[in-house]
Amino acid sequence: MTDKKSVDGPVYVETMAIYGVGLIGGSLAIRLKQHNAVGKIIGVGRSRENLETALKIGAIDEIQSDPLEAAKQADVIVLATPVNTIAGLLGTIRPAIDSSKIITDVGSVKSGIVASAKTELGDMFSRFVPGHPIAGKEKSGIVAADGDLYENHKVILTPTSETDSQACELIYRLWALTGATVRIMEVEDHDRVLSVTSHLPHILAYVMMDFLSTSKDRENCYEMAAGGFYDFTRTASSDPEMWRDISIMNGPRLLEHIKEYQRQLSVVSRMIEEGDHQAIEDLFGAAKKARSRVTEKRKKVH
């Protein structure tokens, strides 16, 4: 498969169970409802209040407190819970999984989740289609959900050689309904790339805000924060629990990039210390060109 935004022919799922009806799971539910692509959506989650809100706004049709019972009823199961809960959920619902069901997830670190799925699902591992929508907001919960969230964004699927091709095709086509461009990647490629483009930037934003909060000038800094600073630290408003788990799960790759980043900062520090105007300008110029390439790529997607 290649990148795709269109859907050929109708896509329909009789019953879907979404575990974690927050920003990601809720936005998917709303969009699929808009396309009449699902007959019934069962919501499963920790917060009864959140689920009742999802039911009230029509994102889901039914609340189920028992994860196993929801899996028994569902044709497609979407795990949109924090990454560190997915292994446990897979173990819980395993008795309900047979060749008629498809499971997918939305976790932003794939290697650990795929390994857990292989262990927990055993001979039903082929029914698991690993996924990751690259879209989001700093706000969470069903109140932040938006049917247009995935429009003109990427959704990555990382099937393995054991993944059932028809299961993968259905999940592929469901995500294409959201307006996203769906891309197939290898598990390791996904985790290596996302550690640079998503996970490391979140860490840098959190560390920057923590650094600022300990400064004696913090109140003045808060007041005088310019647009660039505000944009750079935007992701520090994200859910700390979620990003704690992602950081640990993708730890080996992140540690490698953090060390590389530290080395690069040391190079810049030395340039400044030595007053090397040309070296600084050359580095900034190269960075500007790289940034232009990112902008160019994003325009092609949007």
Distance CA(187)–CA(120), nearest Å, equals: 18
Judgement on whether residues 259 and 148 belong to the same structural domain of the protein = no
The reply to whether 33 falls in a domain is yes
CATH number at residue 66: 3.40.50.720
The reply to whether 8 falls in a domain is no
* pLDDT of the residue at 297: 82
Judgement on whether residues 129 and 271 belong to the same structural domain of the protein = no
* pLDDT one digit per residue (tens) for the chain, 302 residues: 445 554 556 799 999 999 999 999 999 999 999 999 999 999 999 899 999 999 999 999 999 999 999 999 999 999 999 999 999 999 999 999 999 999 999 999 999 999 999 999 999 999 999 999 998 777 778 999 999 999 999 999 999 999 999 999 999 999 999 999 999 999 999 999 999 999 999 999 999 999 999 999 899 988 888 888 989 999 999 889 889 999 999 999 999 999 999 999 999 999 999 999 999 999 999 999 999 999 888 776 55
Rama region for 9: left / alpha / beta (φ>0; ψ in -120 to 50; rest): left
Judgement on whether residues 291 and 252 belong to the same structural domain of the protein = yes
CATH number at residue 233: 1.10.3660.10
* pLDDT of the residue at 167: 98
Query: Which amino acid is residue 270, in one-letter code?
Result: R
Residues with Cβ within 8 Å of residue 58, at least 6 apart in sequence? 30, 33
Judgement on whether residues 152 and 255 belong to the same structural domain of the protein = no
Distance CA(245)–CA(86), nearest Å, equals: 11
The reply to whether 2 falls in a domain is no
Judgement on whether residues 163 and 234 belong to the same structural domain of the protein = no
The reply to whether 4 falls in a domain is no
Q: Are strands 154-157 and 131-134 parallel, antiparallel or unpaired?
A: antiparallel
Distance CA(134)–CA(106), nearest Å, equals: 9
Distance CA(131)–CA(22), nearest Å, equals: 16
Judgement on whether residues 150 and 200 belong to the same structural domain of the protein = no
Judgement on whether residues 247 and 164 belong to the same structural domain of the protein = no
Judgement on whether residues 194 and 180 belong to the same structural domain of the protein = no
Rounded to an integer, what is the distance from CA 31 to the centroid of its chain? 17
Residues with Cβ within 8 Å of residue 290, at least 6 apart in sequence? none
Expressed as residue numbers, the domain containing 50 is: 13-185
> Structural domain tally of the chain?
2
Judgement on whether residues 62 and 41 belong to the same structural domain of the protein = yes
